Amino acid sequence: WRKRTLPLTQMFPPSPSLQQIQFADQKQEFNKRPTKIGRRSLSRSISQSSTDSYSSAASYTDSSDDETSPRDKQQKNSKGSSDFCIKNIKQTDFGRREIEIAEQEMPALMALRKRAQGEKPLAGAKVVGCTHITAQTAVLIETLTALGAQCRWAACNIYSTQNEVAAALAERGLSVFAWKGESEDDFWWCIDRCVNLEGWQPKMILDDGGDLTHWIYKKYPNMFKKIKGIVEESVTGVHRLYQLSKAGKLCVPAMNVNDSVTKQKFDNLYCCRESILDGLKRTTDVMFGGKQAVVCGYGEVGKGCSAALKAMGAIVYVTEIDPICALQACMDGFRLVKLSEVIRQVDIVITCTGNKNVVVRENLDRMKNGCIVCNMGHSNTEIDVASLRTPELTWERVRSQVDHVIWPDGKRIVLLAEGRLLNLSCSTVPTFVLSITATTQALALIELYNAPEGRYKQDVYLLPKKMGNMHEYIFLGHFLDEYLSEEQAKYLGLNKNGPFKPNYYR
């Protein structure tokens, strides 16, 4: 062994200078954070949800210093089409590889594509979408195309787009208008470009947050009236649909995917159970064993977060206002507290209520030195971050999406993602879970598009239980026990092929 030993300089050659390794997203975060964002002429009053959360997950980015806005570029794919606006069409190969990896972990969606692409259940459907543009949602978009849909897409969030994935979609001929780091004006411009094409009347809307729906409703009312159906995934977007319905202004049927069993039981619970730890580890390298954490809210997201922290050896407290959820927390072995009772002693504070001002300045002032504060709810309203932007407090950027907020006496808290959604801001979410949600979205589109006249009125609906069960059968069919016998089905008063739960089951 000694005879084969090489000099250290040969075994470990010097690495390139750190100054040569610059990532585009970090450069933007550190060097440009204080600068003004251009092109803000369009009104932002329609929605605040597009900047409620964003992703800083690992993503291939061009190492060049070209900061030209995609709006000022003329790009074409290999077929000569220019009906898209993305960061760099040359990144298509990287994006295609990421999509192929995602396909391996999305069996339900791929099985739906294989099963239904011969029937083309979305043939003739012009679908306009506004979601996160990632490798996982790319699999959904390409599945919709395989099922016969014509798609135009924009991003629901100014930071979550994977540029290489957008390039791969554009290369395949899809009209995509999105890039990572859009300004707010860019955001609305992309949505408008997605919608406003001469002679193109969308029939279906697939939305995440409600921005696309409200843009069409406000700017193109005649177009909105001709929409056949809306599919909405997020709690914020669903809330806005119910507001339109209550006011008598919703003139098309809409499907509430957020409150479907597949979304609540899988995406909200199991996704957050895994991604909360991932987000905290990537940003803080914290050890959970022995730490005291308080989880604000014990819905499906709170249940997932609490279970994950408990399993890692943390001491977990729960705050809750709903008596049913509060009792569930007690039965699961968590101590139910008021936030004011434990705020001085806990090491980690996690909000996941979907509400606003859950953690306010008074709470932040009383936190111990080094307390980690983050949000797992949909929007950035749960932590009163605005109250921390005062002259007496100092903000210190530690790393991407991690800030120290320092008080005059030297106390500091660790604020993650400026109070935005932790798992999409600081890590990623499990692809398999996204497969479940994406398949539910695809089934909802198929149901609304093919529904006979009169089945759905101008209101908000939950996905029919039979359609939801179809999702599980697509993936789990070869694992499930045999169907009920005729005798068993009659005894339970059910169809032997399902569904096996009533529509009100949650």
Which whole-number Å values give the CA distances from 228 to 177, 193, 450, 501, in the listed order? Answer: 23, 21, 10, 28
Structure confidence by residue, pLDDT tens digits, 354-390:
888 999 999 999 999 999 999 998 777 899 999 999 9
- Asked if the structure places residue 399 within a domain, the reply is yes
Q: What is the Cα–Cα distance from 318 to 333, expressed in whole angstroms?
A: 10
For residue 260, which of 460, 47, 52 has the smallest C-alpha distance?
Answer: 460
pLDDT value, residue 355:
85
Predicted pLDDT of residue 259: 83
**Rounded Cα–Cα distance for residues 162 and 178 (Å):** 9
On whether residue 289 sits in a domain, the answer given is: yes
Average of per-residue pLDDT across 139-166: 93
Number of domains in the chain: 1
Q: Is the pLDDT of residue 116 over 90?
A: no
Q: How far is CA 87 from the centre of its chain?
A: 21
Tally of CA atoms within 13 A in the half-sphere of 318 that contains its CB = 29
Q: How far is CA 134 from CA 159, 268, 458, 463, in A?
A: 11, 18, 32, 24
Query: pLDDT per residue over 259-318, tens digit each?
Result: 877 777 788 888 899 999 999 999 999 999 999 999 999 999 999 999 999 999 999 999
Residue 398 forms part of a structural domain: yes
Lowest mean pLDDT among 115-124, 306-315, 422-431: 422-431
- Specify the pLDDT at position 437: 87
Q: Residues annotated in the binding site for NAD(+), as ranges?
A: 299-304, 320, 423
User: Between 465-476 and 431-450, two packed helices, what is the crossing angle to 10 degrees?
Assistant: 130
CA distance 145 to 401: 35
Q: What is the CA angle 68-194-174, rounded to 5?
A: 85
Q: Is residue 222 part of a domain?
A: no
- Tens digit of each residue's pLDDT (9 = 90 or more) over 312-340: 999 999 999 999 999 999 999 999 999 99
Residue 181 lies in a domain: no
Residue numbers belonging to the annotated binding site for substrate? 134, 208, 233, 263, 267
In this predicted model, which residue has the larger pLDDT, 485 or 164? 164
- Confidence category of residue 16, pLDDT binned at 50, 70, 90: very low
Residue of 237, 229, 244 whose CA lies nearest to 444: 229
On whether residue 110 sits in a domain, the answer given is no
pLDDT value at residue 161: 87
pLDDT at 20 over 70: no
pLDDT in tens, 412-422: 999 998 998 88
Output b/e per residue, 399-416; b: 16+ Cβ within 10 A.
ebbbbebbbeeeebbbbb
Residue 78 has pLDDT above 60, yes or no: yes
pLDDT in the model for residue 209: 86
Which residue intervals of 105-210 are DSSP H helices? 107-116, 135-146, 163-171, 184-195
pLDDT recorded at residue 163: 93
The pLDDT value recorded for residue 478 is: 41
For residue 358, is it within any domain?
A: yes
Contact at 8 Å (CB) between 314 and 288?
Answer: yes
Q: What is the CATH number of the domain that holds 389?
A: 3.40.50.720
**What CA–CA distance (Å, rounded) separates 224 from 201?**
9
Residues annotated within the binding site are 134, 208, 233, 263, 267, 299-304, 320, 423
Residues 6+ apart with CB under 8 A from 46: 211, 214, 215, 218
Using one digit for the tens of pLDDT, what is the confidence trace for 441-498?
A: 999 999 999 999 889 999 999 887 666 555 554 555 444 556 678 888 888 888 776 6
Q: Which of 185, 204, 134 is nearest to 164 (CA)?
A: 134
What is the pTM (predicted TM-score) of this model?
0.76
> The domain containing residue 326 runs over which residues?
270-425
Angle, helix 184-195 to helix 211-219, in steps of 10 degrees? 70
For 392-456, what is the HEC assignment? CCEEEEEECCEEEEECCCCCEEEEEHHHCEHHHHHCCCCHHHHHHHHHHHHHHHHHHHHCCCCCC
Output the pLDDT for position 69: 92
